[in-house]
Amino acid sequence: MDYFDSNFIFQGGLVMYPLLVVSLLGFILFIERSLYLHRGQIGIQDFLAGIKNLVRKGRLVEALTLCEDTPGPMARIVKSALLHYGESRESIRAAIQSAAIVEIPGLERRIGTIAALARVAPLLGFLGTLIAALQVLYGLESFNGDSGLFSRYLAQALITSATGIAISVMALLAFHFLSGRVRALVHDFEWVGHEIHEFLSTEKSVPAESVEKGDV
CA-wise closest residue to 111 among 172, 185, 58: 172
Digitized pLDDT (tens) for each residue of the chain, 216 residues in all: 444 444 556 666 788 899 999 999 999 999 999 998 887 677 788 888 899 898 888 888 999 999 888 888 888 999 999 988 888 888 989 999 999 898 888 888 899 999 999 999 999 999 988 888 887 777 666 656 556 666 777 777 888 889 999 999 999 999 999 999 999 888 988 888 888 888 888 875 544 444 444 444
Domain boundaries, the chain: 15-210
Question: First CA to last CA across the chain, in angstroms?
Answer: 67
3-state secondary structure of 40: coil
- 60-75 burial, b for 16+ CB within 10 Å, e for fewer? bbbbbebbeebebbbb
pTM of the model: 0.77
Q: What is the dihedral of CA 37, 38, 40, 41, to 10 degrees?
A: 130
